[in-house]
Amino acid sequence: MTTKFISIEGIAKRYPAAAGGSTTIFEDLWLSMPSGEFGCIIGHSGCGKTTVLNILAGLDEPSEGTVIVDGQAISGTSLDRAVIFQSHALLPWLTVMGNIAYAVSSKWRKWDKTKVRAHAQTYIDKVGLTGSEHKRPSELSGGMKQRVGIARALSITPKIMLMDEPFSALDALTRGTLQDEVRRVTLETGQTTFMITHDVDEAMYLADKIFLMTNGPGAVLAEIVENPLPRDRSRIDLHKHPHYYALRNHIIDFLVTRSKTFTATTPHHDPRHVPVVRPAFPEAPTMPSLHSATR
Amino acid sequence: MIQSLRFRAAVVSIAIFLAFIGVWHLATRQTASVGTMSPEYAKLMGLTATSGKSAMPGPLDVGAKLWEHLKRPFYDNGPNDKGLGIQLAYSIGRVGLGYLIAVIVAIPLGFLIGMSPLMNKALDPFIQVLKPISPLAWMPLALYTIKDSSLSAIFVIFICSVWPMLLNTAFGVAAVRKEWINVARTLEVGTFRRAFTVILPAAAPTILTGMRISIGIAWLVIVAAEMLVGGTGIGYFVWNEWNNLSITNVIIAILLIGIVGMLLDQILARFTRMVTFPE
Ligand SMILES: Nc1ncnc2c1ncn2[C@@H]1O[C@H](COP(=O)(O)OP(=O)(O)OP(=O)(O)O)[C@@H](O)[C@H]1O
Ligand SMILES: [Mg+2]
């Protein structure tokens, strides 16, 4: 396993501006993630998170720079990189089974129908939708639809899962259960996952690394926060952990104040070597290591 | 509540129908005074006028005649005397053929226009100019080039039904939600498979709406076209019966044109419901 399974190398995105010039959403963005890690990107609305994710997915192209996944520069979309869309994006004329089978048969074109359905069924079971196979998306609740989206992404056994605010449209209770499921499944399968969220607690529960982006336009990746909470953390007990408030305050502080002032106050920020911090109680960062934190 | 609304609506419908028949009956029952009619018109209208009975048939006359037609819809006594069933079959056949050709042309072309912004821009001026032309304006040109009256009628049906289908298909295809296209893209689905598995089902309701508009126009146009080209068909029948001064038959034909038009519309409406998906 390389330490740079995903490597975003100096990408920029510019859009033509009204007055002839161009607006830079972000530029010179470097970011990397090892295999099996869960990364969350947090930043204010409009800073370019979706754009980064879409470039990673291959749905959008950077104006400059490249993205390297598993040693190869990406071009266009790939079955290796599954996307869970914010709006779930299920095909409404297909059933739950039909939606997942569509993905499965797209990946394994030579499989016959029974094999496709059997494979799809295991993922339907995995997300707890057994019994709803023949329902149309319109007959499902928001949470169930998002489960189908997750099952569809998982069913093609991608190398990377990309999620754009997958739970933001759900109520808190459903969101919680789905977070549990995503955490369970990604830990089980060692899935490399990249997720956008606005929910600090969600990031703290799910992510190994949290990428903090400053406000756009001209957004930069300001800091990489390593999650000091133990790997076997549970959502319910998260706030009881000694490092919980240190981590949470650090992120909130960034979002509330530093995200606006960062560019002005940090003139020597090197986008290729973004500082890695590990907020902890009672004192400053220790050497980064995933299992060093104790309960 | 819904049930009772439907029931009450049916009662009102029947009441309106009976009132209409009643008024019609009363209006045509009295003898019109021959004196007030211009002598030329009286001569033209022949016996019906001079005998003092109204020239306009009453509902009972129409009913009796209709019963006669319904008893033997498919008789064929030469070119000017065929059963109504045969005449309708000719018209439906022409509409069906012209419409089918239009479907075969309009849907693939609509896909092309909807999927390719270049073709959309390139073909737009032609469509804008051709679309507003009355289908009957094509008739002389069609007769001159095709040299066959029946085929010309089919061509006219084709040309009038092609536009709503073409425009609706292009619009439906272009308006397919980006996220559904993105799903297909992330699954590396090829263009061809994408067209059939994502774009076609997503655009189907819009396409079917266009097809439904088209069948309505085609049925409107066939009557006029057959009046012009003559020979066979329900349009020709109307014209022929007018020349025979059989207003009864004209009324019956009008009734049947309405009913067939409604049935064609209902069939397409049913197809539309079949492909419509709830979101
Ligand atoms: N097609 C486009 N043309 C011009 N500007 C665009 C276009 N698409 C996006 N942008 C701009 O790019 C910026 C980043 O958009 P993006 O959707 O990536 O933001 P985001 O961080 O995902 O925001 P949110 O949290 O609200 O989803 C926004 O300021 C937006 O206005
Ligand atoms: Mg976004």
Closest CA to A104 of A89, A87, A82, A84: A82
C-alpha Rg value of chain B to the nearest Å: 24
Is B258 inside any structural domain? yes
Is B74 inside any structural domain? no
CB A65 within 8 A of CB A31: no
Distance B142 CA to ligand 2 centre (A): 56
Where does the pLDDT of residue B54 fall: very low under 50, low under 70, confident under 90, or very high at 90 and above? low
With a CB cutoff of 8 Å and minimum separation 6, the contacts of A279 are: A225, A228, A243, A246, A247, A249, A250, A285
Q: In CATH, what number is assigned to the domain containing residue A63?
A: 3.40.50
Distance CA B273, CA B204 (A): 10
Is B55 inside any structural domain? no
Is A217 inside any structural domain? yes
Q: Which among A76, A83, A138 has the least Cβ separation from residue B279?
A: A138
**The pLDDT of residue A267:** 85
Burial (CB count <10 Å: 0-12, 13-18, 19+), residue A188: exposed
**The pLDDT of residue A293:** 41
Distance CA B34, CA B147 (A): 47
User: Which residues have CB less than 5 Å away from ligand 2 (the ion)?
Assistant: A 50
Closest CA to A38 of A213, A198, A206: A206
Distance CA A246, CA A241 (A): 10
Ligand minimally distant from the alpha carbon of residue A48: 1
Token couple for B155: 């061509």
A192-196 and A160-164: which strand pairing?
Answer: parallel
> Does B198 touch chain A if contact means CB atoms closer than 8 Å?
yes
Instruction: Quote the number of domains for chain B.
Output: 1
pTM of the model: 0.84
Is B79 inside any structural domain? no
Distance CA B99, CA A280 (A): 74
CB A197 within 8 A of CB A203: yes
Q: Does A216 contact ligand 1 (Cβ within 6 A)? A: yes
**Choice from A13, A14, A15 to test ligand 1 binding pocket (greatest atom count within 8 A of CB):** A15
Token couple for B40: 């030329």
How many C-beta atoms lie closer than 10 Å to residue A287's C-beta?
A: 6
Is A129 inside any structural domain? no
**Amino acid (1-letter code) at residue B122:** A
Token couple for B212: 């439904």
Is A14 inside any structural domain? yes
Is B213 inside any structural domain? yes
Closest CA to B92 of B216, B190, B219: B219
Q: Does A46 contact ligand 1 (Cβ within 6 A)? A: yes
Token couple for A16: 């033509």
Is A89 inside any structural domain? no
Is B256 inside any structural domain? yes
Distance B34 CA to ligand 2 centre (A): 84
Distance CA A144, CA B183 (A): 18
How many C-beta atoms lie closer than 10 Å to residue B243's C-beta?
A: 9
Range of the domain at B173: 84-275
**The pLDDT of residue B38:** 66
- Please tell me which residue, B79 or A268, carries the higher pLDDT value: A268
With a CB cutoff of 8 Å and minimum separation 6, the contacts of B96 are: none
Is A103 inside any structural domain? no
Is A149 inside any structural domain? no
Is A95 inside any structural domain? no
* pLDDT tens digits, one per residue of B176-205: 999 999 999 999 999 999 999 999 999 999
Distance CA A175, CA A169 (A): 9
Per-chain mean pLDDT for chain A: 89
**The pLDDT of residue A281:** 74
Answer whether residue A133 shows pLDDT above 50: yes
How many C-beta atoms lie closer than 10 Å to residue B263's C-beta?
A: 12
Answer whether residue B262 shows pLDDT above 50: yes
Cα–Cα distances in angstroms (integers) from residue B14 to residues B7, B63, B255, in the given order: 11, 17, 17
Complex prediction ipTM: 0.86
Where does the pLDDT of residue A292 fall: very low under 50, low under 70, confident under 90, or very high at 90 and above? very low
Range of the domain at A228: 6-77+193-294
Closest CA to A254 of A293, A215, A217, A289: A215
Q: Which of A80, A91, A160, A164 to mutate: most B Cβ within 10 Å?
A: A91
Set of chain A residues whose Cβ sits within 8 Å of the Cβ of B189:
106
Determine the residue of chain B that is closest to A58 in CA distance.
B186
Q: Does A15 contact ligand 1 (Cβ within 6 A)? A: yes
Instruction: Quote the number of domains for chain A.
Output: 1
Q: In CATH, what number is assigned to the domain containing residue B178?
A: 1.10.3720.10
* pLDDT tens digits, one per residue of A176-196: 988 998 998 888 888 899 999
Cα–Cα distances in angstroms (integers) from residue A3 to residues A31, A40, A71, A98, in the given order: 12, 17, 11, 37
DSSP state string for A128-194: T-TT-TT--GGGS-HHHHHHHHHHHHHHT--SEEEEESTTTTS-HHHHHHHHHHHHHHHHHHT-EEE
- Please tell me which residue, A221 or A291, carries the higher pLDDT value: A221
Distance CA B215, CA B162 (A): 10
Q: Which among B183, B197, B277 has the least Cβ separation from residue A89?
A: B183
Determine the residue of chain A that is closest to B279 in CA distance.
A138
Is B238 inside any structural domain? yes
Token couple for A5: 């399974």
Helix axes B84-115, B200-229, angle to 10 degrees: 140
* pLDDT tens digits, one per residue of A143-177: 899 999 999 999 999 999 999 999 888 888 888 98
Answer whether residue A96 shows pLDDT above 90: yes
Is the N-terminal amide bond of A271 cis, ω within 30° of 0? no
Q: Which among B179, B201, B277 has the least Cβ separation from residue A87?
A: B179
